[in-house]
Chains A and B, each alone.
Chain A
Amino acid sequence: MNSMIKSEQIYLDRIDRQLSFNVREANEMGFLVTTLIFLVVGVIASLVTRICFNQGPSTNLLHLTLIITATVCCWMMWAIVYLAQMKPLIVPILNDTE
């Protein structure tokens, strides 16, 4: 009897760890996937600008720099907000009046 409860507990613990691992993995997967999306959008934007607004090598370099800066800024902002919410230390406590 006792050994059965113990083994059940070990089994449940393993599932629990697996689930929390899955959640953790989902967090990191989400992070990586969205980072990749930002990268792809940045690359597409630079290609589009290169094709549509081709104005000579120095101007193209300026456009590229601007797009890279914009992509990095936007990604940083998103990444900061995402990371802050991955493992929160506090949770929303609703108001009484709702």
Chain B
Amino acid sequence: MGERRLCCPPMDLMRSEAMQLVQLIIPIESAHLAVSYIGDIGLIQFKDLNADKSPFQRTYAIQIKRCGEMARKLRFFRNQMSKAGLQSSPGTLPASITNIDDLEVKLASLESELVEMNANGEKLQRSYNELAEYRLVLQKASDFFESAMRSAEAQQREYQSGEESLETPLLVEQEKLVDLSKQVRLGFITGLVPRGKSLAFERILFRATRGNVFLKQSEVNDPVIDPVSGEKGEKNVFVIFFSGERAKNKILKICEAFGANRYPFDDDAKKHTQLINEVDAKLTELKITIDAGLALRGNLLQTIGKEFDHWNLLVKKEKAIYHTLNMLSIDVSKKCLVAEGWVPVFATEKIQDALHRATYDSNSEVDAIFQVLHTREMPPTYFQTNKFTLAFQEIVDAYGISKYQEANPGAFTIVTFPFLFAVMFGDWGHGICLLLCTLFLIFREKKYLSQKLGDIMEMTFGGRYVILLMALFSIYTGLIYNEFFSVPFELFARSAYVCRDPECRDATTVGLIKSRDTYPFGVDPAWHGSRSELPFLNSLKMKMSILLGVAQMNLGIILSYFNALFFKNGLNVWFQFIPQMIFLNSLFGYLSVLIIVKWCTGSQADLYHVMIYMFLSPTDDLGDNQLFPGQKTIQIVLLLLALVSVPWMLLPKPFLLKLQHDRHHGAGYESVPETDGSLFSEANHDSHGHGEFEFSEVFVHQLIHTIEFVLGAVSNTASYLRLWALSLAHSELSSVFYEKVLLLAWGYNNIIILVVGIVVFICATVGVLLVMETLSAFLHALRLHWVEFQNKFYEGDGYKFYPFSFTTLDIDDE
């Protein structure tokens, strides 16, 4: 495909790597190892030969289930580790387990151990909580009973002292006659109830027992852990006095409904202290046991943590290997697996070497067979990128993956994209800020590569080299536009403009005069802040946009020429490239030449007039708009050329394609390499492939292509004016922030207002100019590349090369 002239070797990144379809026949014994070594190299994209089988019908479904189980156990471990606050710390010791079967056994035993420890721990904790609540009940209830006892004793003493007074109750004597046997014994229930529910608890008790209960509650100061739910809550200790069996049942049911835990209480006062001491002792014992259990669990989790990453990787690798093995078709009679895949041509030796090693390491008798297949299928697109070129290639890929071996715009995007961004961003102060940010990211590269970053941070970090180039070019264009936070400087020479007379009387009416040499680098600093700044800069930037646009579009068309050369498509060269070049350059190339001539001669010709009347009345006399002698004749010639090139683009190609197709069809079989190029071109233009040729479809396709190009020539050139628009917006915003915020704050001569002004200026600069304008200019530069540059040559309907590689595992699974 495309012979290389010996003078220029193929350029890196210009075209995708040459790929070949290979067939591997691997004996079953060495299959696992072979796939593992291939995964390490990471340069084969396997085709799924079992695509019609469901996941359960495949050969290695059981193995995958095993791996899934192990992965589940590992996830459980990770869960437990994160709950305990531990992290997987990769140890520096060599891994103890490398075999997947041993790992399975170990994981199972560890899991059962951990589950048991957890269950025990929970049980112990629950008993501990219950005991803690019991202790509270003991304490509060005993306090209550004691205080009740004391007040009863006090009352009895009072009664026994026998003082008759008006306050003594009248029914006291009657009370003494009460028969002891008829005395009703009150039962009581003690427990804890959550404080929030205590009021409702009291009310329902009252209603259910018709007021025949006595409830005493006292609050517990510290929050208590509920043994059932395991959560902390505010609780009250309660004592309910009731009489009768039915009341007791009702009360029990109500306690259950309210989640109030009941605890038995002995109203014998002597036993209280003893009981409390017992409970305290048991509590401390339990606490020691629980702590010991936690420490043991912690140790276990730590040992797991040391090997966790390694086990995780092992399990993921195994799963990936088995998924890949499932894609190979099994040839039972020959006891081997057949694999088909795409391999870059340069990796052939590496793959063959890996297969040899696998055969050797697995002690297999038969060697694996490596065979190159010939096919008409389109191979995947693979670019070998490094960390610098990867971001730019991704920008291009986001629009569409290159077709196999067509010219890759990514090679030029590396420079033109930051350059067009900088044309719209041009301010060397802002450029320096961007540069500092991106240098920070680049210096911390190693650290950020291993971390997991948030979405926005990841995008910014991924694009750090793009932003670096953007910043460097911005500094350059900032120096050219002469803007440092919108302030111009006389860096390279004195300004070319001076006042007409020493008192500068005419400076505000007629203006300055150019007496010295042109300012050598960039825009003259005298323009900033003058009244005629905008007319001058607008004219300059608009013309600059047109010139840059025509240049980039020409580059696009030239790339289509190289594509046509590479694919040996003579039709495209004569009937697409040449008329396109003629059309674009006779109109817009001529406009660019006029712009340059007008600048060089200082003529006052109106270029709008020239262009419009070139079309409307080309034979008219130019008069004042004459820029060079013979202009009228040249304009007529160019107009005729443009007119001729439109049917040149449209008509011959479909007819010639039909002629070609008829010739091949009629000629029968021809040797494959000879006709490869033109067959490829046929496949390009009628997607039905070899054999079918719909003339009307081809003609319509060519018509659309022609109309798109002709109309696009005008609209795309105008589209480049966004370079002017955004750079104007940037400089205006920047000058507004400078004059209306900073200078205004400076004018007040007050330190507080100055500080406030500086803060507002910084926030506005960072928020609006550095973030919003950067994104905006980025987007527009991107659009210019994707649409205006790439629609001249790019087809972008390929598919990306996704090799089976262990390095991409972590990204996929996590």
Give per-residue flags for B506-523: 1 if the beta carbon is below 8 A from chain A beta carbons, else 0.
011111111001111111
Judge if B596 is at the interface, Cβ distance under 8 Å: yes
Judge if A52 is at the interface, Cβ distance under 8 Å: no
Interchain residue pairs A-B with the least CB separation, the first 3: A87-B602, A93-B511, A92-B530
Judge if A15 is at the interface, Cβ distance under 8 Å: no
- Segment with Cβ contacts to A, from B539-547, B683-691, B759-767: B539-547
Which residues of B sit under 8 angstroms from A57, Cβ to Cβ?
Answer: 9
Q: Give min CB distance, B213 to chain A, whole Å.
A: 91
Judge if A89 is at the interface, Cβ distance under 8 Å: yes
Q: Give min CB distance, A70 to chain B, whole Å.
A: 5
Given A83-B596, A85-B524, A90-B532, 9 new contacts (CB under 8 A)? A58-B10, A62-B12, A62-B411, A65-B411, A80-B543, A80-B547, A86-B600, A89-B604, A92-B527
Q: Give min CB distance, B298 to chain A, whole Å.
A: 51
Question: Across the interface, do A92 and B544 meet the contact criterion of CB distance under 8 Å?
Answer: no
Main secondary structure of the interface of A (DSSP, over half): helix
A-facing residues in B72-123 (Cβ within 8 Å): none
Which residues of A sit under 8 angstroms from B548, Cβ to Cβ?
Answer: 76-77
Q: Give min CB distance, A50 to chain B, whole Å.
A: 14
Chain B interface (Cβ < 8 Å from any Cβ of A): 8-14, 411-412, 414-416, 419, 423, 476-477, 480, 496-497, 504, 507-514, 517-524, 526-527, 529-533, 535-536, 539-540, 543-544, 547-548, 551, 596, 599-602, 604
Q: Give min CB distance, B782 to chain A, whole Å.
A: 17
Tell me the complex Cα distance, A92–B512, Å.
6
Judge if A73 is at the interface, Cβ distance under 8 Å: yes
Q: Give min CB distance, B5 to chain A, whole Å.
A: 13
- Residues A93 and B532 in contact in the complex (CB < 8 Å), given A78-B480, A82-B518, A84-B599: yes
Tell me the complex Cα distance, A34–B519, Å.
12
B-facing residues in A39-98 (Cβ within 8 Å): 57-59, 61-62, 65-66, 69-70, 73-74, 76-78, 80-96, 98
Q: Give min CB distance, B25 to chain A, whole Å.
A: 33
Tell me the complex Cα distance, A92–B488, Å.
14
Tell me the complex Cα distance, A73–B480, Å.
13
With CB as the reference atom, state the residue of chain B lying closest to A62.
B12
Question: Across the interface, do A92 and B497 meet the contact criterion of CB distance under 8 Å?
Answer: yes
Q: Give min CB distance, A86 to chain B, whole Å.
A: 5
Which residues of A sit under 8 angstroms from B519, Cβ to Cβ?
Answer: 85
Question: Across the interface, do B599 and A87 meet the contact criterion of CB distance under 8 Å?
Answer: yes
Q: Give min CB distance, A19 to chain B, whole Å.
A: 10
Tell me the complex Cα distance, A24–B1, Å.
54
Give per-residue flags for A1-32: 1 if the beta carbon is below 8 A from chain B beta carbons, else 0.
00000000000000000000001001100100
- Residues A77 and B531 in contact in the complex (CB < 8 Å), given A61-B9, A92-B512: no
- Residues A58 and B532 in contact in the complex (CB < 8 Å), given A34-B520, A73-B419, A92-B511: no
Question: Across the interface, do A91 and B513 meet the contact criterion of CB distance under 8 Å?
Answer: yes
Tell me the complex Cα distance, A84–B542, Å.
11
Tell me the complex Cα distance, A66–B12, Å.
11
- Residues A90 and B535 in contact in the complex (CB < 8 Å), given A62-B12, A85-B524: yes
Question: Across the interface, do B512 and A94 meet the contact criterion of CB distance under 8 Å?
Answer: yes
Contact among A58, A78, A95 with B521 in the assembled complex (CB-CB below 8 Å): A78
Contact among A74, A78, A95 with B529 in the assembled complex (CB-CB below 8 Å): A95
Interface centre among B12, B508, B535, B600 (most CB of A within 10 A): B12
Interface centre among B510, B511, B604 (most CB of A within 10 A): B511
With CB as the reference atom, state the residue of chain B lying closest to A29.
B517
Question: Across the interface, do A92 and B532 meet the contact criterion of CB distance under 8 Å?
Answer: yes
Question: Across the interface, do B12 and A61 meet the contact criterion of CB distance under 8 Å?
Answer: yes
Question: Across the interface, do A83 and B507 meet the contact criterion of CB distance under 8 Å?
Answer: no
Which residues of A sit under 8 angstroms from B412, Cβ to Cβ?
Answer: 65, 69
- Residues A61 and B511 in contact in the complex (CB < 8 Å), given A23-B517, A74-B476, A80-B543: no
Which residues of B sit under 8 angstroms from A77, Cβ to Cβ?
Answer: 423, 476-477, 480, 544, 548
Give 21 CB contacts A-B under 8 Å: A30-B517, A30-B518, A61-B11, A73-B419, A77-B544, A80-B540, A80-B547, A81-B480, A81-B523, A82-B521, A85-B524, A87-B599, A89-B602, A91-B497, A92-B511, A92-B512, A93-B512, A93-B531, A93-B532, A94-B530, A95-B531
Which residues of B sit under 8 angstroms from A83, Cβ to Cβ?
Answer: 596, 599-600
Which residues of A sit under 8 angstroms from B535, Cβ to Cβ?
Answer: 90
Which residues of B sit under 8 angstroms from A65, Cβ to Cβ?
Answer: 11, 411-412
Q: Give min CB distance, A76 to chain B, whole Å.
A: 7
Which residues of B sit under 8 angstroms from A61, Cβ to Cβ?
Answer: 8-9, 11-12
Q: Give min CB distance, B499 to chain A, whole Å.
A: 9
Question: Across the interface, do B514 and A91 meet the contact criterion of CB distance under 8 Å?
Answer: yes
Q: Give min CB distance, A30 to chain B, whole Å.
A: 6
Which residues of A sit under 8 angstroms from B529, Cβ to Cβ?
Answer: 94-95, 98
Tell me the complex Cα distance, A2–B529, Å.
49
Q: Give min CB distance, A17 to chain B, whole Å.
A: 16
Contact among A23, A26, A80, A88 with B536 in the assembled complex (CB-CB below 8 Å): A88
Contact among B507, B518, B531, B532 with A85 in the assembled complex (CB-CB below 8 Å): B518
Which residues of B sit under 8 angstroms from A23, Cβ to Cβ?
Answer: 517
Which residues of A sit under 8 angstroms from B419, Cβ to Cβ?
Answer: 70, 73-74
With CB as the reference atom, state the residue of chain A lying closest to B469.
A70
With CB as the reference atom, state the residue of chain A lying closest to B472.
A70
Which residues of B sit under 8 angstroms from A59, Cβ to Cβ?
Answer: 12
Question: Across the interface, do B13 and A62 meet the contact criterion of CB distance under 8 Å?
Answer: yes
Which residues of B sit under 8 angstroms from A27, Cβ to Cβ?
Answer: 517-518
Which residues of A sit under 8 angstroms from B601, Cβ to Cβ?
Answer: 87
Tell me the complex Cα distance, A82–B517, Å.
11
Q: Give min CB distance, B320 to chain A, whole Å.
A: 32
With CB as the reference atom, state the residue of chain B lying closest to A67.
B415
Question: Across the interface, do A76 and B600 meet the contact criterion of CB distance under 8 Å?
Answer: no
Tell me the complex Cα distance, A55–B539, Å.
44
- Residues A95 and B530 in contact in the complex (CB < 8 Å), given A69-B412, A70-B415: yes
Which residues of A sit under 8 angstroms from B512, Cβ to Cβ?
Answer: 91-94
Tell me the complex Cα distance, A98–B530, Å.
10
- Residues A76 and B551 in contact in the complex (CB < 8 Å), given A27-B517, A70-B419, A86-B518: yes
Which residues of A sit under 8 angstroms from B11, Cβ to Cβ?
Answer: 58, 61-62, 65
- Residues A69 and B530 in contact in the complex (CB < 8 Å), given A81-B540, A85-B519, A88-B514: no
Which residues of B sit under 8 angstroms from A92, Cβ to Cβ?
Answer: 497, 511-512, 524, 526-527, 530, 532-533, 536
Which residues of A sit under 8 angstroms from B414, Cβ to Cβ?
Answer: 66
Which residues of A sit under 8 angstroms from B511, Cβ to Cβ?
Answer: 90-94
Q: Give min CB distance, A57 to chain B, whole Å.
A: 4
Question: Across the interface, do B602 and A86 meet the contact criterion of CB distance under 8 Å?
Answer: yes
- Residues A62 and B530 in contact in the complex (CB < 8 Å), given A69-B415, A70-B419: no
Q: Give min CB distance, A97 to chain B, whole Å.
A: 9
With CB as the reference atom, state the residue of chain A lying closest to B555.
A69
Which residues of A sit under 8 angstroms from B602, Cβ to Cβ?
Answer: 86-89
Contact among A78, A80, A82, A93 with B530 in the assembled complex (CB-CB below 8 Å): A93
Tell me the complex Cα distance, A93–B526, Å.
9
Q: Give min CB distance, B382 to chain A, whole Å.
A: 15
Question: Across the interface, do A58 and B9 meet the contact criterion of CB distance under 8 Å?
Answer: yes
Question: Across the interface, do B411 and A81 meet the contact criterion of CB distance under 8 Å?
Answer: no
With CB as the reference atom, state the residue of chain A lying closest to B13.
A62
Question: Across the interface, do B508 and A93 meet the contact criterion of CB distance under 8 Å?
Answer: yes
Q: Give min CB distance, A72 to chain B, whole Å.
A: 8
Which residues of A sit under 8 angstroms from B530, Cβ to Cβ?
Answer: 92-95
- Residues A91 and B532 in contact in the complex (CB < 8 Å), given A70-B419, A80-B543, A83-B600: yes
With CB as the reference atom, state the residue of chain B lying closest to A73.
B419
Question: Across the interface, do A93 and B509 meet the contact criterion of CB distance under 8 Å?
Answer: yes
- Residues A94 and B507 in contact in the complex (CB < 8 Å), given A84-B540, A85-B496: yes
With CB as the reference atom, state the residue of chain A lying closest to B599.
A83
Which residues of B sit under 8 angstroms from A93, Cβ to Cβ?
Answer: 507-512, 530-532
Tell me the complex Cα distance, A11–B448, Å.
75
